[in-house]
Amino acid sequence: MWDISYTVTPESWRQAAEARYDALSTRWRRAFFVLFGLLLLVVSSVALARLVQVDDPAVVKVLLPLLLLQLVFGLLLFCNRWLTIAIHRLAGRRHPNMGKDLRYALSAEGIAGAPLGTEQVYPWQAFQNGKSRVTTKGIILIHASGVCHWLPAAAFASTQDWQDAAALAENKLRFIKRKST
């Protein structure tokens, strides 16, 4: 059993936001956003550069807002990960947990702690949804309701405790699909 205690700081909030984004967003989706955003940026930039050569002001008046909208949309897609994490960081500044000490108890049965809303032990099955992950910086536990709990690696008493807890969490968080009978 491991007792985990840490103070929520902007850095731990940033790490949690990154882990949450990576856990909830699939790799193909992230790659699609970057590639499609880049494609929109290139196409709209080339079209805007060519729009200068158009002599008809009516065509320019119609195309200019559309191309600018396409440019902005491409930029939003291309920077999706960064923008999402930045929004979470801004929201974290006003979050009631910022600056507070959070305490969790991690064991083979599950996880307990006041931040979970109850002192009872939440079993690992509550987080076996295919979204909870063990990262190099900590453990992100995502409940089916969408509530996230971040356990940073730095909050553990020693490196060995972190490695043991990470191995246990990785083993317990495996998503097992039920076989139809």
Instruction: Work out the average pLDDT over 46-56.
Output: 88
Note the pLDDT of residue 36: 94
DSSP letter, residue 9 = -
Note the pLDDT of residue 116: 60
Res 50 pLDDT > 70: yes
Sign (positive/negative) of CA torsion 128, 134, 139, 142?
A: negative
Distances (CA, A) of 118 to 6, 62, 112, 131: 18, 58, 8, 22
Note the pLDDT of residue 175: 55
Cα separation, 28 vs 41, whole angstroms: 20
What are 87-139's pLDDT values in tens digits? 878 887 788 878 888 888 888 888 887 766 666 778 888 887 778 888 888 88
With cut-offs at 50, 70 and 90, classify the pLDDT of residue 59.
Answer: confident
Cα separation, 160 vs 158, whole angstroms: 5
Cα separation, 143 vs 149, whole angstroms: 8
Nearest CA-CA partner of 6 in 137, 107, 102 = 102
Cα 150 from chain centroid? 11
Say how many C-beta atoms besides its own lie within 10 A of residue 91's C-beta. Answer: 11
- Joined tokens for residue 100: 């507070």
What are 32-44's pLDDT values in tens digits? 999 999 999 999 9
